[in-house]
Structures are given as structure tokens and as C-alpha cells.
Structure 1
Amino acid sequence: MAATGPAQDSRVQDEWRARVLADPGLVLDDPEVMRALVLTSERAMGGNVVDLRGMAMERLESRLERLEDTHRAVIAAAYENLASTNQIHRALLKLLDADKFETFVMDLGGSVAEILGVEAVRLVLESAEPGASLGKLDTILRVKKPGFTEHYMSGGRPAPARPIVLRQGVPPSSGPYGEVAADLRSEALMRLDLGKGRLPGMLAMGSEDPHRFKPGQGTDLLAFFTGTFERVLRRWLS
């Protein structure tokens, strides 16, 4: 039978002491063990003694926890930004693969919308002439009267809209989305410069998630997407 009693307890203590002396990190790297040691030290000093060292350690622990939280938040933001960048690149590569304008437009509302994780993508082109039926392209490509882009992006206000507008809420039924507008809760609107002598256009993305697009979010990736998209579109319209 294994030995029990004081002899065994002494051996366990000796083994533990030897392990700690060989590797102090076993204690120093364990916040709970260190906290227990500090509390024991404070009780031994009595209630009429202020342990400044213990107070300093508590403050350092608090600062360390805040730094760790900040570190985790930065890492999470970096991963999210990387994932968004990959989405934008994949979407643009898909658009560049199109061998004809019809495919370009239909991909925009199909696989590109899926890659970007939005429920609706619409391309708006302004024209002074009444638009004829575009067949199946009507579901994605909308031809509007001159001034529609600026009016819609500015929300009807007299002040000029920014090149990229992010906003929350249900888009109006008179907007570019048609019947699906009632299911959307946020949208990203990007003005398109189609070249000298051409009316502007607009690329609209709608999401059912009210937090997908909202004011205050960064627009660098959308600006890159817009700049590349309008250059590709100019080639198709030339």
C-alpha cells in the first residue's frame, strides 16, 4: 500500500517546492495563485496596514486586462478587414471574367451579390430618353431620368451627396430595388463616374441586416470597388 500521513504530505510539499523553484512561472504566470498569495500576505499583516504593493498589483492587473481586451479587439478588426478585402477582390474578379455585357450585369445581381453577402445589387444608369424594356436585365439594371442619382443619394436634400453613402432603414419603393425594397434594412450607395459627356450612374447594394451598412463605417474598400467597377463599366459602354 502507498504511504499515507505526514510523511506523504511532506514528500508532496517537497516535490511542489522543487517544481516551483525550478520553474517559478508556475506561480508567477497564474493570476489566481498570485492573487491568493497576495490576499494571504495582507491577512498576515493585519487590518491596520495598507499594502501599497498589493494595490499596485491590482492596478497593474486591471491595466493588463484592458490591454488584452484591446489586443483582442484589434486582432478581430484585422481579421474582419482581411475577410472584407478578400470579398471585394473575389467580386471584382468575377466581374472581370464576364465576356459580354449581359453576363456582366446578371453576375452583378447574382454571384457578385452572393460573394459580397448582400441581398440586392442594382446598377442605375441615367438617360434623358425613355428607357425601352431591357428584358431580363430589368431585374438588375435600372434606367432613370437625369438627376435621379443625386436626388436618391442625398435623400432629397438640397446639399450634394457624398460619393459613397451608407444608411440604415427601409429604402423607398421608388428606389432602385423594386419589390424587394420592403425586405431591406440598410444600403450602400456609390456614385459612378462614367466619363466625360456621360450622365452619372449609381451602384446600390441593399442588405436585410440593419447593421450591414451604417453611417460612420469605413468606406475605403467600397471606394476601391467603385473605382474599379466604373472603369470596367466604361469599357462596356464605350
Structure 2
Amino acid sequence: MTPQDIVDFLSQQPEFFVDHPELLSTLTVPHPLSGQAISLTERQLLNLREKLGQVQGKLAELVSFGEENDVIAERVHRLTLSLMTAPEFESVNFAIYNHLQEDFAVPHVALRIWNSILKRPLPEFIEVSEELRFYAADLRHPYCGPAQNEEVLAWFGESASQLRSMALIPLRRDAQIFGMLALGSEDPERFFPEMGTLYVERIGDLVSAAVLRHIG
């Protein structure tokens, strides 16, 4: 008889240990850590404790994610209120930089707007290349990853050489792209390709709507 024969037999006879309960306490197997002989019942309890520990770990992870999402949602809410109550573009501009840098702890923020009916003598309205406009128009979702777009890096001035990751968020008027919000960090893991972009996209929608309300 092979070990597989025993496995097959026990699988086909689920009542075997019900009919022979004494075997559960008399048969022994090695403890997974100490190697000491323990009963099948004790081994089963160890398995259950291990599974329970895994479930508790997953639950703690989900609770942590939920709490983190609550914090981000509250920050987005504060940004929304500031953008909604901003009386002119300059106030919108201040709210964008202030909330992203102070509330979201994004160290470097840059905004560029093109195809605007009204312009301002501000860095946000400096012309961008046609190549960048095409690049922004091709983005279906925000770019998150290494800081490697040279034109966008130049928006950050002297800090550009320190940046290791960035998020590039296209600003939309319906299907048309009219600008870009860029977030930069010295941390290469702050913005990465596999990260979720739900809140990043929502921030882009909020900024787009607030900017359009004042400059058309």
C-alpha cells in the first residue's frame, strides 16, 4: 500500500475517524516547528490557528486600507470646498498648491494651462510644446512613474534634478485636454506605475472644473 492509497481511502471514507475516534488521540505527527510528536487533533488545532492568524492579518490589512482611504477622502473633501469657494483663478491656484503640498504632503506641484480664453501673466500660462500637448491628449489615465519627462521636469526649476517620481494628470474639458497638473517627489516609490489612480483622477477632475469656471 502506497501513501496515495491511504489518502484515497481516507478521502473516500470520510466517516473513518468517526468510527475510530481513538486514533485521533493515539496517532502522532511531528510538530511543524519543534518536531515533537503531537496528536492529529493537536495538529488540526495548529492548522486552524494558522488559518485564523492569516485571516486576522488580512482583516487588519483591510482595516488599514479603509482608514487610509478615509484620510484621503477627507483631504479631497477639504480641497473640494476650497476650490468651490475660490472667488477667482488666483484663489483656485493658491488652493491647488496649498492643499496638495500641505494637506497631501506632495513636495512639488506644477500646473500648466493651454487653449485658455483668458490668460494671466503667471507661470501656469507659459506655453508648452506641441509634443507635450499630444502626449497629454494620449493619456487615458494619469501617468505615475519615474520622473523622466524633461519638459515637465523643467517646470520644477532647481528642484527638477532631485525628483525621482511624478504623477502627470491631464486636465479635461469634455474630451479636450487643456492643461496638466504635475506632482513630483524625491521618493522613487511615491508615484509608481502599479499604484491606484482613483483619487488622483478625482483631483484632476476637481482642478479641471475649478480652473474652467474662472478662465473658460
With normalisation by structure 1, the TM-score equals 0.65
Tell me the residue number matched to 2:196. Answer: 218
Residue 144 of structure 1 pairs with residue 132 of structure 2: no
Distance 1:142 1:91, change over 3 A: farther
User: C-alpha distance in 2, partners of 1:50/1:84?
Assistant: 49
Tell me the residue number matched to 1:33. Answer: none
- The residue identity in structure 1 corresponding to 2:188 is P
Tell me the residue number matched to 1:186. Answer: 165
1:172 is displaced (CA, Å) by: 4.6
Q: Percent identity?
A: 23
Tell me the residue number matched to 1:177. Answer: 156
1:110 is displaced (CA, Å) by: 2.9
Pairing 1:34-53 to 2, within 5 Å after superposition: 51-53=39-41
User: C-alpha distance in 2, partners of 1:127/1:146?
Assistant: 12
With normalisation by structure 2, the TM-score equals 0.71
Deviations 1:172-197 (A, max 9, x none): 5532322222222221111111357x
User: C-alpha distance in 2, partners of 1:193/1:203?
Assistant: 11
Pairing 1:42-121 to 2, within 5 Å after superposition: 51-121=39-109
1:210 is displaced (CA, Å) by: 2.1
In structure 1, list runs of 5 or more residues that go unmatched: 1-37, 43-48, 155-159
User: C-alpha distance in 2, partners of 1:104/1:145?
Assistant: 25
Distance 1:63 1:142, change over 3 A: farther
Tell me the residue number matched to 1:4. Answer: none
User: C-alpha distance in 2, partners of 1:69/1:142?
Assistant: 50
1:170 is displaced (CA, Å) by: 3.6
User: C-alpha distance in 2, partners of 1:199/1:189?
Assistant: 13
1:103 is displaced (CA, Å) by: 2.3
Q: Which protein is bigger by CA-based radius of gyration?
A: 1
Tell me the residue number matched to 1:208. Answer: 186
Distance 1:181 1:141, change over 3 A: farther
User: C-alpha distance in 1, partners of 2:108/2:125?
Assistant: 12
Kindly indicate whether the alpha-carbon contact (under 8 Å) linking 2:108 and 2:156 is maintained by their aligned counterparts in 1. yes
User: C-alpha distance in 2, partners of 1:50/1:173?
Assistant: 65
Kindly indicate whether the alpha-carbon contact (under 8 Å) linking 1:173 and 1:179 is maintained by their aligned counterparts in 2. no
RMSD: 3.2
- The residue identity in structure 2 corresponding to 1:55 is R
- The residue identity in structure 2 corresponding to 1:232 is A
> Secondary structure of the residue that 2:194 maps to in structure 1?
coil
> Secondary structure of the residue that 1:78 maps to in structure 2?
helix
Tell me the residue number matched to 2:205. Answer: 227
Kindly indicate whether the alpha-carbon contact (under 8 Å) linking 1:126 and 1:201 is maintained by their aligned counterparts in 2. yes
* Greater Cα offset, 218-227 or 174-183: 174-183
Deviations 1:180-229 (A, max 9, x none): 22222221111111357x65211111122222211111111122222222
Count of aligned pairs between the two proteins: 181
Kindly indicate whether the alpha-carbon contact (under 8 Å) linking 1:194 and 1:201 is maintained by their aligned counterparts in 2. no
